[in-house]
Amino acid sequence: MRHETAENDPLDEVVTWRDGHVVALDQTVLPHEIRVLHITSVDDLVDAITRLAIRGAPALGVAGALGVALAVRQAQRQGWDESRLAAEVERVADARPTAVNLRREVRAAAAVIRRGPAAGEAAAVAVRDATIGVSRRISDRGARYLSEAAGTGPLTIHTHCNTGTLACLGWGSALGVIRALHEQGDLRQVIVDETRPLLQGARLTCWELGQLGIEHFLICDGAGPFLISQGLADAVVVGADRIAANGDVANKIGTYALALAARQAGIPFVVAAPESTIDDATASGKQIPIERRPDDEVTRVLGVAAAPEGTRALNYAFDVTPAELVTAIVTEDRLIHPGREPDTTALVS
């Protein structure tokens, strides 16, 4: 794998296909370094996904589709037979377990490559283009819904993790909603959780908001529920890695505490996500696989030891918010109120 600094707008390089290989922005070194990865093998793609160089559910879906095209190229170069190719494709699908988009897009792309490598590459690139379009539709629908649901006047939105261009391409999901609110003049400011342990909020969301000129404040994760109880936010808006058929939502660890606080404070808790994140094959949150990551992501902070040598950690990367705490799920196609019939009067087309 080769890496270089970005010549183009780095946000155009989040994850894409160029000259027969995958190009991706290495999100582990943002915001202090812009590093573009040139990924030519399944090993390197799996590594990039596993260490979160490419991350966020929709971006993982794009990486999965492109990963199948990459595997086919590598199979041609190295003379893999069909069973080896299938095994390598499966490694891409398995690189992270919680975001359903990854496995879903790998499966879809794997079905298309039966029609030949060119068709597979074209289909993978189409997934990327569609993901960009979908993010804009979620953003606009979510902003219109929130300006109705969260009251009058410019809103203060509390968010968690990173759900912008880096996670979704295009405008993002939750952060896209925030951007659309800003564009329509309905946003006061954003409260951003730092998102321990890998600091997607501090490193990535603050970087994106800064580039957009959107006023924001960074807080420690533990401060979120208290600040919500003090009336600082008008709504909580987050993304999702997988939404079960009953409306339970898996998202970055720390989301559940915000949902409880939002319910207690009587403010909307809104999930913005593409339809492709809804997993009808998973009945409830209990069946969602929750990724457990290495202890040293918690015991060290940005690579520096924080806990005594030998400390063990429980590093669950995601939690599940029960459907009953979710005020609305906004997708590109609809507004869903989990736990009750869709409120079609509030449906914004």
Which residues of this protein are in contact with ligand MRU, per CB under 6 A? Answer: 52, 55-58, 99, 161, 163, 167-168, 173, 200, 239-241, 251-252, 317
**Closer residue to ligand MRU, CB minimum distance, 35 or 196:** 196
Token pair of 265 as six digits? 């404070």
CA dihedral 193, 198, 200, 203 (to 10 degrees): 100
**In terms of CB distance, is 73 or 242 closer to ligand MRU?**
242
Residue placing its CB nearer to ligand MRU in the complex, 200 or 299: 200
Taking the chain, what is the end-to-end CA distance rounded to the nearest angstrom?
A: 44
- Based on the residue annotation, tell me whether 241 is a catalytic residue of this protein: yes
The two three-digit tokens of residue 192, written as one number = 């951003």
Q: Is the dihedral of CA 23, 109, 318, 138 positive or negative?
A: positive
The pairing of strands 318-321 and 249-252 is antiparallel
- Which amino acid type is present at position 129? D
Nearer to ligand MRU, 74 or 139 (CB): 139
Catalytic residue of the set 44, 140, 193, 241: 241
Shortest spacing between CB 318 and ligand MRU, in angstroms = 6
Rounded least distance, CB 110 to ligand MRU, Å = 22
In contact, 3 and 24? CB cutoff 8 Å? no
Q: Sort strands 300-301 and 278-279 into parallel, antiparallel or unpaired.
A: unpaired
Q: How far is the CB of 292 from ligand MRU (least distance, A)?
A: 12
**Cα–Cα distance for residue pair 334/332, rounded to 1 Å:** 6
Q: Please say which residue, 56 or 67, places its beta carbon nearer to ligand MRU.
A: 56
CB of 84 to ligand MRU, least distance (A): 28
Helix H or strand E encompassing 252:
strand 249-252
Q: Looking at beta carbons, which residue is closest to ligand MRU?
A: 239
Collapse the DSSP code of 342 into the 3-class scheme (helix H, G, I; strand E, B; otherwise coil) and give the result. coil
Smallest gap from residue 79 Cβ to ligand MRU (A):
34
Q: Name the residues annotated as catalytic.
A: 241
